[in-house]
Amino acid sequence: MSLSIASRIAGLLVASLGLAGCQGLFPGEEDSSIGAARLSQAGRVASTQRLGEDGYPLLGAYPSAAAPQLSNEAVSQTKATFTGIAQSRAAAGASVSSNAGTIAQLQNARARQAAVAEQTASQPAASGTTGRGPRPQDVLRQIEASETQTN
């Protein structure tokens, strides 16, 4: 009985992981503003598809006319908008020199930290101590010695 419950839970996890794959991993991955802008610019087009009594399209009934097409001005305006967006994104991602400077700074910091760590590791530990401080036995002896002196 518990095996079937475990298999059901595993199946639900696999299904949810499959659905989670449809989502973007990073916040900038999906830009819904472009799709919203396109929808807001598109005008409502009346369909010439004939509908039945129930409001659904009649199967096999072909439209009597083609839907109106976009004007050349609307197409060129949309192209210009998307070209501008693409150019601004390309310019934002093309700052390679600033990235190279940041990488160089981080590499220098890493080298400094490695040098300090190596210098610290090469120094011998004080006698009677571990690398982290005095040994527990030594601390216990000091406590016992201080108790005998105070009594």
Task: Summarize pLDDT for 128-149 with one digit per residue, the tens.
Answer: 555 677 788 888 888 888 887 7
pTM: 0.27
CA angle 90, 95, 98 (to 5 degrees): 165
- Residue 131 bridge partners (DSSP): none
Helix axes 32-41, 72-93, angle to 10 degrees: 170
Instruction: Decide if 128 contacts 135 (C-beta within 8 A).
Output: yes
Position 53 pLDDT exceeds 80: yes
